[in-house]
Amino acid sequence: MHCKKLLNLILLCFFSASLVLRLDISVQTWASQEYQQYVNNYLNSGVLGNWTYLEKPLFPIAFNESQIFIGQNWSVVTPLLANHSYHIYCYGEWINNSSEPQTDYDIYVYDPLGEMVGYHTESAGLPEHLGTSTEEPFFVPKTSGNYTFTIKNDPRESNGSKPATFMIIENVECNVWHQHYVEGKDNSSLPVFTTSWAYEFFTDSKHVEVWVTVPDTLDMYEARVYLMANPKSGKGVTLNGVPLAWEPGLYSEISTPYGGYNLESEEYRGLAYASCEFHGQDMLLNFTSSSSGPTLYHLVFIGENGFGTIEYLVKTEFANTRLEPLTVPGRVYPYNETVIAYTSNATDLVDATLQYSTDGWRNITALTMELVDNRTCRAVIPGQQAGTSVSYRVAANDVIKNVLYASGVYPVKYPSRLNISLSRNTIIIGENITVRGNLSLASESLRITVTFASQNITKSITSLTLENGSFTASYKPEILGTWEVQAFFAEDEFAYESASTTLTAKVDEPSIFAKYSLYIGGGVGATIVAGIIVYLKKSRQ
């Protein structure tokens, strides 16, 4: 019995020494005030045994070599919010893809009621996927409360206890506005629980903007962005499609421009940062990365004075957002209203304005467009008189601070109709095909084009309308067969174009009597001609 107590005491001293050594040597920055205050380690305590209470899910937890013995567990308990996305991963030196891996850490997840909601048992040396399901990269709790992540060194498959890092941090979606509550430091200039906080995001975009709207009740010390991983550049790795942070960078180590992650006011500020000079001053972080491919960032907020809820946006969508026409003006007739409607292809709209002009932008009328839904804007341009050319342009602001533009031009004209008829549907070769028609616009000298087309020939005849809109056109075909006849009116400043229906005319040979009518006189001559005709008919048979 005394030996067992002595052994436990030795183990307790060993664990304590391991934790202190890990903090002192590898993560000195995390031994700062924030880390000491909100990361609490317990040895042989309660039903969990060895465990860490992570009050703020945004610090890396370092496990030293032999800290989790084969067959033993270490639990990390942390409060999570329902329906928020958390990026959780456990990696480090224990990851080994060789044929002889030493360490096999399995991870079991329990909800606030103690029910198991996930278990992850990859074979030795392989990183555990800690998403809600095997298809999802993030863990999304169904309820709010303390979740327990138990890391077990599997005695069946493990031959060692290599160092590891357990990391949990909320992942925020890009191009969506989020909210975060911040309190400044207390009267002694010490941070309180919500003074400092961190999130992560990842993107393929090289250009990133972070917009922060600050309420008048709050003065922000800083907003920071840390570049944490870019697997293409050899910093960090990818698991389930999402980069994992370069491990030393989680512990404030810097390999320019990577790493340096911390929540302390006086420490490294990161890749980009911004600050408030007074209460309520908004902030913008604007930077471009030289690395391509999926890139992981940490976003840190630090309050200074006062309190309030900030709104922030990680913007990575710039060139792909646009307005697409929902209704395109067709033929617009005099004094008819015209509906102009556009929809955003990718983002929600905040507001939109339409400007139009009827005199080449010398005079401009502005209309506030109605937001029919989150992505559609609509306005009505009043009716105009015939002969007017209406130019318009739309400027819409979307939720991610893009301004989307669209423009167009449409004429206002009278409609026109063409009706035609043939004087005869069948003619003899050598005669004219005569077309009579009427244009609905009662005006003279309007040009009408009439086409006469057979299988191999097309002939166009131009005719001018009379005062009442009527016109006539004739054409003498030179070949037999069927001819199609159609009339066209080309639009002008005041009227739209139109086309008539297509009519068919037949061109025949003359009759035999007509061919030989000169020979027909009377008496014997007529008899001779009649005989010739009979002979020709029989010879053709």
Residues 122-148: tens digit of each pLDDT: 776 677 778 887 778 999 999 999 999
Q: Which two tokens stand for residue 463?
A: 């005719």
Q: Please state, rounded to an integer, the average pLDDT across all residues of the chain.
A: 89
Q: Which amino acid is at 178?
A: H
Q: Are 236 and 153 spatial neighbours (Cβ–Cβ below 8 Å)?
A: no
pLDDT at 16 over 50: no
Per-residue pLDDT reduced to its tens digit, 255-290: 999 999 999 998 999 999 999 999 999 999 999 988
Note the Cα 124 to chain centre separation in Å. Answer: 40
Q: What is the per-residue pLDDT for 446?
A: 95
Scanning the structure block, which residue is given the tokens 């942070």?
245
| Alpha carbons 29 and 31: distance in angstroms, whole number | 5
Which residues is 366 bridged to in the sheet?
Answer: 355
Helix (H) or strand (E) holding 90: strand 86-91
Return the sign of the alpha-carbon dihedral for residues 437, 442, 445, 447: negative
Q: Tokens representing 522?
A: 């009377």
Level-2 CATH architecture, domain 2-170? Sandwich (2.60)
Q: What are 284's two structure tokens? A: 């913008």
The yes-or-no verdict on residue 3 having pLDDT over 50 is no
**39 pLDDT more than 80:** yes
CA quadruple 351, 354, 355, 360: dihedral sign: positive
Residue pLDDT, tens place only, 181-199: 999 998 878 899 999 999 9
What is the Cα–Cα distance from 146 to 429, expressed in whole angstroms?
100
How buried is residue 121: exposed, middle or buried, by Cβ count under 10 Å (0-12/13-18/19+)?
A: middle
Could you tell me the residue ranges of all domains in the chain?
Answer: 2-170, 177-315, 323-412, 418-508
Q: Backbone phi, then psi, for 535, in 5-degree steps?
A: -60, -45
pLDDT 10s digits, 343-380: 999 889 999 999 999 999 999 999 999 999 999 999 99
Model confidence at 519: pLDDT above 80: no
Residues 8-14: contacts with CB within 8 Å, 24+ apart? 8/44, 11/44, 12/43, 12/44
At residue 308, the pLDDT reads 97
CATH for the stretch 418-508: 2.60.40.10
Q: Assign residue 195 a region: left if phi > 0, alpha if psi is -120 to 50, beta otherwise?
A: alpha
Q: What is the pLDDT of residue 99?
A: 75
Per-residue pLDDT, 24:
38
Report the CATH number of the 177-315 domain.
Answer: 2.60.120.380
Specify the DSSP class assigned to residue 193.
Answer: T
Q: What percent of the chain has pLDDT over 90?
A: 75
Mean pLDDT of 484-490: 97
Query: What is 143-169 written as a DSSP string?
Result: S-EEEEEEEEE-TTT------EEEEEE
Tokens of 509: 């040979």
CATH code reported for the domain at 323-412: 2.60.40.10
More confident residue, 66 or 450: 450
Helix (H, G, I), strand (E, B) or coil at 340: strand
Segment 48-77, tens digit of pLDDT? 899 999 999 999 999 999 899 999 999 999
User: How sure is the predictor about 30, in pLDDT bands with cuts at 50, 70 and 90?
Assistant: low
- The CA-based diameter of the chain, rounded to the nearest angstrom, is 159
Looking at residue 2, what is its pLDDT?
38
Q: How far is CA 176 from the centre of its chain?
A: 11
Residue 222: what pLDDT? 97
Burial 405-423 (b: 16+ CB within 10 A, else e): ebeeebbbbbebebebebe
pLDDT score recorded for residue 355: 98
What pLDDT does 15 receive? 39
The pLDDT of residue 530: 55
Q: Is 60 exceeded by the pLDDT of residue 6?
A: no
Q: How far apart are CA 103 and CA 69, in angstroms?
A: 10
The Cα–Cα gap between 202 and 295 comes to 5
Confidence band (pLDDT; 50, 70, 90) for 521?
A: low
Given a cut of 50, whether residue 425 has pLDDT beyond it is yes
Distance of CA 65 to the CA centre of its chain: 45
For residue 280, CA distances in Å to 212, 309, 363, 401 come to: 10, 11, 39, 19
Q: Who's near 185: CB < 8 A, 6+ residues apart?
A: 191, 192, 195, 303, 304, 305
Averaged pLDDT for residues 489-501 = 95
Domain 2-170 matches domain 177-315 at the CATH topology level: yes
Structure tokens at 184: 């400044």
